[in-house]
């Protein structure tokens, strides 16, 4: 069973610590436990209860009304709300709880069922990436141990890798893509997903992976006559800025086309646009679902 402090609840649920304390004092909704040194803490059941309370409150039910419900009624009402409007939020919360409990079976059960019902691409776009965004927020705020983030990320990576291996479609006049992260970039789930999307549309990929030196591009481009290079920038402290990466590529391979994305790039898009001298040859993707449309439109 997990142990959470008030700052953890704030990070997990998005409810301010001040509000949580008011709900405790005024409505007795959450009753914290105490350590031997009188420090308040909460357990998994408290987290689930608070997530459900937050949902009901968000959907318009006054906190005074929620306080009159039993715990089972709160969970029941929340479940109805999840099913009507917030199904994926519920599933994301289930994945978060499975991650906190290091419960791989529970994690796989939720994720695999969504894949079965909605397809692999939708599972990543509508469940996987939103979940990873939430986990990233928790990690940044110190509400989750990095080992838990690695646990969840590696499960998703394995699913993507298996999906990639199952793709054998090949279309006429297929294009060649090099997939690689620039120096200092190590988060490769987005790149793996791009590999899956491109192969699922019948095109060819050469996957170089993370932290790829510019010289490595030179080593492969003479052999693998690629039409596109795809890269993702997610680390604002990476070894090379996106504009310099683009200029380095076009200094040697002026005819190749670039596809770029990632939170770090998008957060400095205006700066990138000013600094990049080859932006007319660069496609910027602002969301994961845009890659599928882009690849489908390649003629």
pLDDT 10s digits, 158-204:
999 999 999 988 888 999 999 999 998 998 999 999 999 999 999 99
The answer to whether residues 26 and 98 belong to one domain is no
Shared domain for 91 and 149, answered yes or no, is: yes
Residue 198, Cβ density class (10 Å: 0-12 exposed, 13-18 middle, ≥19 buried): buried
276 pLDDT band, cuts 50/70/90, is: confident
Residue 264 pLDDT: 80
When the pLDDT of each residue in the chain is averaged and rounded to a whole number, the result is 86
Q: Are residues 184 and 271 in the same domain?
A: yes
Query: Of the residues 107, 140, 166, which one is the last residue of a structural domain?
Result: 166
Res 298: pLDDT? 87
Query: Can you give the pLDDT at residue 217?
Result: 85
Domain end (from 166, 189, 213)? 166
What CATH number did the domain enclosing 62 receive?
1.10.1660.10
Tell me the residue range of the domain where 249 lies: 169-296
């Amino acid at each position: 069973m997990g142990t959470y402090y008030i700052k953890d609840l704030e990070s997990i649920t998005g409810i301010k610590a001040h509000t949580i304390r008011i709900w405790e004092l005024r409505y007795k909704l959450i009753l914290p436990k105490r350590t031997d040194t009188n420090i308040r803490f909460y357990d998994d059941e408290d987290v689930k209860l608070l997530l459900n309370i937050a949902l009901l409150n968000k959907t318009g039910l006054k906190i005074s009304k929620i306080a009159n419900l039993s715990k089972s009624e709160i969970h029941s009402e929340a479940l109805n709300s999840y099913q009507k409007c917030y199904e994926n939020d519920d599933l994301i919360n289930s994945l978060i709880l499975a991650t906190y409990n290091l419960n791989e079976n529970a994690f796989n059960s939720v994720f695999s069922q969504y894949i079965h019902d909605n397809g692999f691409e939708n599972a990543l776009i509508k469940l996987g990436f939103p979940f990873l965004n939430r986990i990233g927020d928790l990690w940044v705020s110190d509400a989750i141990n990095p080992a838990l983030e690695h646990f969840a990320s590696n499960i998703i990576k394995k699913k993507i890798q298996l999906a990639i291996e199952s793709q054998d479609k090949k279309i006429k006049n297929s294009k060649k893509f090099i997939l690689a992260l620039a120096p200092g970039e190590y988060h490769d789930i987005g790149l793996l997903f791009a590999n899956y999307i491109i192969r699922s549309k019948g095109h060819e990929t050469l996957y170089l992976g993370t932290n790829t030196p510019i010289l490595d591009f030179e080593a492969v481009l003479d052999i693998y006559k690629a039409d596109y290079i795809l890269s993702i920038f997610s680390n604002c402290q990476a070894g090379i800025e996106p504009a310099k990466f683009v200029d380095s590529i076009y200094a040697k391979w002026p005819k190749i086309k670039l596809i770029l994305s990632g939170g770090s790039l998008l957060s400095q898009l205006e700066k990138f646009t000013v600094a990049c001298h080859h932006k007319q040859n660069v496609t910027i993707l602002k969301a994961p679902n845009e890659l599928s449309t882009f690849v489908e439109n390649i003629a």
